[in-house]
Structure 1
């Protein structure tokens, strides 16, 4: 199979879909790799690194899309990229379709086969292709929020760890999954007072054991959130429903409960955000203010640490990319029900129910198109 890797064009996105090591693995199995010139530079991989792996360097995205049977990316295809997709072509990337009707419409119109990293599952029920980026985003969240708390950035001027005689910041993390646990690890390490909310008592018990009392756990419901908001200097939204739009955990009216200059960090913004006032921002212009509350809602947080993120993502995606290339997408999905969960669009049909529910569109079971 000929596999193509274009340069990411989403603003301030420096990651790349295929590392030189992944290219070398694919080429060793008899596949061809074509990479757009400069695609890996933001992650520290120059064109020569890909040439040394055996890949062919092409000048433009148009050439990559036109020649490749499978396109491997990081972020969802932008409008200009979606126009280059064609029937029978496979797209393997993060898609986050639930809050994005325009992208969904374009992918359906392309009649391409689109497999989303974020809905591929594993035997334990986890999301193995989302997990490494969730780890990165979770670890970045307190760091980014600490920057937003600085007075020059519109924040209240509170230092996360405080100093002797001055209390540290209070941070609430809503969601105790991969993102929440990673955020808690960094926030606790920075010396903040941390409360993690989740609806799973076993998960709260696990976090209590792991952190050995260095954070507070609390069952998550509307009353608990309302009770905590007035005391918090930062709230990190870390709730995910696989493939579906994120639930709104803090309403605009509830912003009035928070102290002026407090910070909301919305790690769920790719799925529409978990605060009512969230809207996607970029690394270039990451924050905005609503009713005196600073919002940090960068939609590709891991792109800020592109080399670490690219290598971590490549480690997770490479086995699936190779399976699709070796067997073809249909056989690969038939052999691996967890990969089948990643199938979101095929030949003009929506194949992920949660996206259909979010957008009011009809969907079919992925098994139906795989077994057709």
Structure 2
């Protein structure tokens, strides 16, 4: 199979879908790899590194899309890239379709088979291709929030750890999954007073057992959430409903109860955001203000540390890329029900029910798609 990897064109996105080590593995399995010129530069990989691994270098994205059987990317294809997809081609990348009707429509029209990193599952019920980027985003969230809290950046002027005689910042993390856990660990490590909210009592017990007094936990009732958000200097939104739009857990009305200059960091923005006032921003212009509350809603946070993110993502995706290349998408998905859960679109049909519910589109099951 010929696997193509184009340069990412989303603003301020420096990650790349394949590392030279991944190319070496693919070539070792008898496949061909085509990398767009300069695709890896943002993550510190030269074209010479890919050539040494056995890849060929393409002049532009059009060549990559036109000659490859499978496209491996990081972020969802932008409009110009979607126009290059063709019937029968495999697209393997993050998609986040639920809040993006334009992308969904274009991918359905392309006839391509689209497998989303974020809905591939594992035997423990986890999301193994989302986890590495969730770990990165979780670690980044308090760092970005602390920067936004600085007065020069429009924030309250609060230091995360305080100083002797002055209390630390009050940080609330909504969601105790991978993002929330790493965000809480880093915020607590910076000296902040941290509370994690979640609706899963087993998860709250786990966090208490493992992290002890590092941070507090509370059940995420509407009342508890409202009270804690009102007293927070920083709120980190870390809620995920796999494949579906994120629930809106903080309303615009609640902003009026918050401290002026407090910060909302919405890590769920890829799925539409978990604050009513969230809208996607970029690393070029990451912060905006609503009713005196600073919002940091960058939709590709891990892109800020592209080398770490690229290597971490590549470690997770490589086994699936090899399976798809070695066996073809249908055989690979028949053998691996967890990979099958990543199938979002095939032959002009939507195959993810939560996306269908969010966008009002009829969906078939992934198993039905295998029979098409």
TM-score tier by shorter-chain length is: over 0.9
Per-residue deviation, residues 129-165 of structure 1 (Å, max 9, x unmatched) = 0000000000000000000000011100000000111
2:212 and 2:173 mapped to 1: Cα distance? Answer: 17
Compare 128-137 and 209-218 and name the one that shifted more: 209-218
**In structure 1, the residue corresponding to 2:235 is in which secondary structure?**
strand
Shift of 1:370: 1.1
Structure 2 partner of 1:247: 247
- List aligned pairs for 1:93-108, cutoff 5 A: 93-108=93-108
- List aligned pairs for 1:265-284, cutoff 5 A: 265-284=265-284
1:352 and 1:230 mapped to 2: Cα distance? Answer: 36
- List aligned pairs for 1:287-306, cutoff 5 A: 287-306=287-306
- 8 A Cα contact 1:334 1:371, kept in partner: no
**In structure 1, the residue corresponding to 2:197 is in which secondary structure?**
strand
**In structure 2, the residue corresponding to 1:367 is in which secondary structure?**
helix
**In structure 1, the residue corresponding to 2:208 is in which secondary structure?**
helix
Structure 2 partner of 1:23: 23
- List aligned pairs for 1:172-321, cutoff 5 A: 172-321=172-321
Per-residue deviation, residues 224-259 of structure 1 (Å, max 9, x unmatched) = 111112210000000000000000000000000100
Shift of 1:371: 3.3
- List aligned pairs for 1:131-150, cutoff 5 A: 131-150=131-150
2:185 and 2:57 mapped to 1: Cα distance? Answer: 41
Structure 1 partner of 2:364: 364
Shift of 1:211: 1.4
Structure 1 partner of 2:348: 348
- 8 A Cα contact 2:197 2:218, kept in partner: yes
Let me know the Cα RMSD of the aligned residues.
0.5
- 8 A Cα contact 1:172 1:196, kept in partner: yes
**In structure 2, the residue corresponding to 1:288 is in which secondary structure?**
strand
Q: TM-score, normalised by structure 2?
A: 1.00
Structure 1 partner of 2:51: 51
- List aligned pairs for 1:2-21, cutoff 5 A: 2-21=2-21
Structure 2 partner of 1:37: 37
Structure 2 partner of 1:130: 130
Confirm or deny that 1:163 pairs with 2:166: no
Q: TM-score, normalised by structure 1?
A: 1.00
**In structure 1, the residue corresponding to 2:299 is in which secondary structure?**
coil
- 8 A Cα contact 1:171 1:233, kept in partner: yes
- 8 A Cα contact 2:185 2:214, kept in partner: no
1:369 and 1:98 mapped to 2: Cα distance? Answer: 19
2:353 and 2:230 mapped to 1: Cα distance? Answer: 38
2:73 and 2:226 mapped to 1: Cα distance? Answer: 40
Structure 2 portions without partners, runs of 5+: none
- 8 A Cα contact 2:170 2:231, kept in partner: yes
**In structure 1, the residue corresponding to 2:213 is in which secondary structure?**
coil
**In structure 2, the residue corresponding to 1:334 is in which secondary structure?**
helix
- 8 A Cα contact 1:36 1:59, kept in partner: yes
Per-residue deviation, residues 327-371 of structure 1 (Å, max 9, x unmatched) = 000000000000000000001000000000000000001101113
- 8 A Cα contact 1:352 1:364, kept in partner: yes
**In structure 2, the residue corresponding to 1:212 is in which secondary structure?**
helix
- How many residues matched? 372
